[in-house]
Structure 1
Amino acid sequence: MTAFARACGVTDERSRAHVPLAGCQAYPAYVSWLALNASPTDTVLALTANFSAWGGYCARIAAGLRTHYGFEDESCAFLDFFAAPAPDLDAQATAAVQAGLDSGALDMETAHTYGALLQRYESMFWAALS
């Protein structure tokens, strides 16, 4: 069991019995679909824009868990990982998008559609949790 689950008071038995919420599965399923089916350049642009927002969420959630619930660093490690700036990843994404622009492989309309869908699926995730 993860440190996060333990900090939330989840027992091994409860963890094994957990049935995922359908609304929380749409976002990761769509990311998987993009990885398997979409143009890499369009996908990189959509994911890079989405991860910027995701990193902000992770930072705020980790801070709130520490402040209001006394969570330790180990329990927030997943959130901290995504909250931290990733300059190498940003540089790689910029290079991939530039290569797509240079080769004509980037379809801005499709990338925008992918990004909009990612945001909607992420919104479904949060709504399912509430």
Structure 2
Amino acid sequence: MALSAREVLDEAVRELAPDSGGNRFVARVAEGTAPPETIGLFALEQRHIIGSDRRSFLHLADRAAAEPAVEAFFTGLAQGETLALDRLSDLEEACGLDADTVRDHEPLPGCQTYPAYVSWLALNAEPVEAVIAVTANFAAWGNYCAEMSRGLRRHYGFTDAACGFVDFFATPAPEVTEQALDAVQSGLDSGQRFGRRAVHHYGQLLQTYELMFWDTLAQEAAARRPEEPRRAAGTGRAGT
């Protein structure tokens, strides 16, 4: 019996879910032991990632022009990246990053492997298969952002505005889910047979490269003197 669109996506999310507790950096933010400067590093790296992913999603939308539901999914993701980028400046400010620091930051290779692979998918993957892999990855990313949001408020005194970037991804977006379901259903209706091996391969690499991003931040945190759990500063600025 053929799977429904929801079953296809649910299966991918379930099979590609990362190991619980495997994200060392988010765990440190959640308990308040991540050095404040590494939270700033998170923000600096995200500025590069968001811009790259936005262009990748627009390219996937162009490639899927003959499949309106798939095109709409990736166009929506690109629009979401634009909204997220608008919220990133508040996080940068809360981390004490000025415009020169943001401009001059040299991206870390371990943090930028993920967007490089998203670019590869934009060029090489079947768009509908990319929908499934990206949706599974976003489920894990959203959970990480939710943990960071709680930790930033509780231990670092970040304001709602400063947490707006992570809150954006942590907040459930039913419209994105519906667009993903419509995209997958359009593929099913048109007789496309999704390559389950390809989807698993794409999704597994996305999850691995995302964990590489977090591991790189965790290594940066470990290179600095460990801190005791921080009290909320109430100022919205880390390290003050």
Task: Give the structure-2-normalised TM-score.
Answer: 0.51
The residue number in structure 1 matching 2:160 is 73
Match of 1:82 among 165, 169, 184: 169
Superposition deviation, residue 11 in structure 1:
2.8
Superposition deviation, residue 94 in structure 1:
1.3
Superposition deviation, residue 99 in structure 1:
2.3
Superposition deviation, residue 22 in structure 1:
0.7
d(CA) in 2 for partners of 1:123 and 1:25?
Answer: 11
Q: Does 1:39 align with 2:39?
A: no
The percentage of counterpart residues that share the same residue type is 55
What runs of 5+ residues in structure 2 fail to find an aligned partner? 1-87, 219-240
Instruction: State the one-letter code of the partner of 2:170.
Output: A
d(CA) in 2 for partners of 1:91 and 1:108?
Answer: 21
Instruction: State the one-letter code of the partner of 2:215.
Output: A
What runs of 5+ residues in structure 1 fail to find an aligned partner? none
Q: Does 1:114 align with 2:202?
A: yes
Q: Does 1:93 align with 2:180?
A: yes
Q: Does 1:104 align with 2:192?
A: yes
Greater relative contact order structure (CA < 8 Å, 6+ sep): 1
Superposition deviation, residue 28 in structure 1:
1.1
Q: Residue 97 of structure 1 contacts residue 106 of structure 1 at CA under 8 Å; is this kept in 2?
A: no
d(CA) in 1 for partners of 2:90 and 2:179?
Answer: 31
Q: Does 1:25 align with 2:93?
A: no
d(CA) in 1 for partners of 2:192 and 2:101?
Answer: 51
Instruction: State the one-letter code of the partner of 1:104.
Output: Q
Superposition deviation, residue 105 in structure 1:
4.0
1:88-126 deviations in Å (ceiling 9; x for gaps): 111111121122233124211101100000000001101
Structure (1 or 2) with the larger CA radius of gyration = 2
1:61-104 deviations in Å (ceiling 9; x for gaps): 01100110010111111111111111111111112112223312
Q: Residue 27 of structure 1 contacts residue 125 of structure 1 at CA under 8 Å; is this kept in 2?
A: yes
1:30-50 deviations in Å (ceiling 9; x for gaps): 112212321111000001111
How many residue pairs get aligned? The number is 130
Task: Give the structure-1-normalised TM-score.
Answer: 0.92
d(CA) in 2 for partners of 1:80 and 1:56?
Answer: 10
d(CA) in 1 for partners of 2:186 and 2:98?
Answer: 48
Q: CA RMSD in A?
A: 1.5
Match of 2:145 among 34, 37, 58: 58
